[in-house]
Amino acid sequence: MFSSSAMERRRRSPCAAVVMAAVAMLAVMPAFPGVAADLSAGYYSSSCPKLESIVRYEVSRKINETVVTIPAVLRLFFHDCLVTGCDASALISSPNDDAEKDAPDNMSLAGDGFDTVNRVKTAVEKACPGVVSCADILALAARDVVSLASGPWWSVELGRLDGLVSKASDVDGKLPGPDMRVTKLAAVFDKHGLSMRDMVALSGAHTVGFAHCTRFTDRLYNYSAGEQTDPSMNKDYAAQLMEACPRDVGKTIAVNMDPVSPIVFDNVYYSNLVNGLGLFTSDQVLYTDGASRRTVEEFAVNQTAFFDAFVSSMVRLGRLGVKAGKDGEVRRDCTAFNH
């Protein structure tokens, strides 16, 4: 049976909460050392009062050009936060191709995510030059793509500085993989003080966006010695995916991750899992594994419960490894360090 510290935490009595919170803090510290910043929703209220409307306008304009903007920005925020914290390190372009975004594990982050942040930054710099960090712009843009896709809106904590380091080698082992099962997935999140419930709620981001065939073709053609196709996958869905992704197909073909409502941010991801329509192993196991099944069932029938959980998990995700003081700067250009 599954027995991560996240699960143990929930089984214990409420009076252990303080001790457990301290344990969570300790779990975060070694991952991202440095000074913790004070984040607040009103951080730029006098230095850049129009910030939020500028971000929303530019994000909306970009989505109207291409709907791919929605998943691209959301995934970029997740990857940035998991690797050295929410510090825009994922946005750095290196002439030597050795920045975070160049790591094999960047798992084909879509260019429209980077483009969105750069365009918003240009607009924000015109209104308030040198004031707003790229890390905060990405956090706001991630909220805006979710809410513009009919998902929840929430107040975003601000005050992150942009990081001074971005290395491809930092990515290795930090991101979850599509072949992982629940114990491993939970461990990736637990390292940052994020619980099983956070992990299940954040996985709901796969209600939008695309995945390349190579990420899941083992489930179709090469599941195990005895079975070609993963038996937890709905048969009709498997047949559709085989049609879209023939064996040995190139890396270029991608399919919707939510086959039912691919561009709407809703709880259909979870009812899909109940129906065997999870695309990755890492999606489907959230339902097949008893350790996370009840949360999937809860979110599948109650979108409000999903939205509430997603919002609080995104806020917690946004606090990871925030840079302050001499550990950061406000970049002039999101793709390059100031010096």
Ligand X SMILES: *[C@@H]1O[C@H](CO)[C@@H](O)[C@H](O)[C@H]1NC(C)=O
Which residue ranges make up the site for ligand HEM (CB under 6 A)?
71-72, 74-75, 78, 107-108, 110, 176-178, 180, 185, 199, 202-203, 205-206, 208-212, 215, 282
H-only helix segments in 83-228: 111-127, 134-148, 182-190, 196-203, 217-221
Q: Does 308 bind ligand X (CB under 6 A)?
A: yes
Q: Which span (106-114, 115-123, 259-267, 275-283) binds ligand X, by CB under 6 A? A: 106-114
Please check if 258 is assigned to a binding site.
yes
Smallest distance, ligand HEM to C-beta of residue 171, A: 13
Smallest distance, ligand HEM to C-beta of residue 107, A: 5
211-250 positions binding ligand X, by CB under 6 A: 218, 222
Kindly tell me which of 88 and 110 has the beta carbon lying closer to ligand HEM.
110
Kindly tell me which of 197 and 212 has the beta carbon lying closer to ligand HEM.
212
Using CB under 6 A, pick the residue from 101, 119, 192, 219 that binds ligand X: 101
| CB-based contact 157:315 (threshold 8 Å) | yes
Smallest distance, ligand HEM to C-beta of residue 28, A: 17
Among ligand HEM, ligand X, none, partner that 127 touches (CB below 5 to 8 angstroms by kind)? none
Radius of gyration of the chain (CA): 20
Please check if 84 is assigned to a binding site.
no
Please report where in the chains the tokens 């979110």 appear, as a residue: 299
134-193 positions binding ligand X, by CB under 6 A: none
Please spell the DSSP secondary structure of 281-303, one letter per residue: HHHHHHHHSHHHHHHHHHHHH-H
| CB-based contact 254:276 (threshold 8 Å) | no
Residues with catalytic roles: 79
Q: Does 40 bind ligand X (CB under 6 A)?
A: no
Q: How far apart are CA 89 and CA 103, in angstroms?
A: 12
Among ligand HEM, ligand X, none, partner that 212 touches (CB below 5 to 8 angstroms by kind)? ligand HEM
Q: How far apart are CA 119 and CA 126, in angstroms?
A: 11
| CB-based contact 189:199 (threshold 8 Å) | yes
Q: Does 122 bind ligand X (CB under 6 A)?
A: no
Please report where in the chains the tokens 């290795």 appear, as a residue: 172
Q: How far apart are CA 183 and CA 181, in angstroms?
A: 6
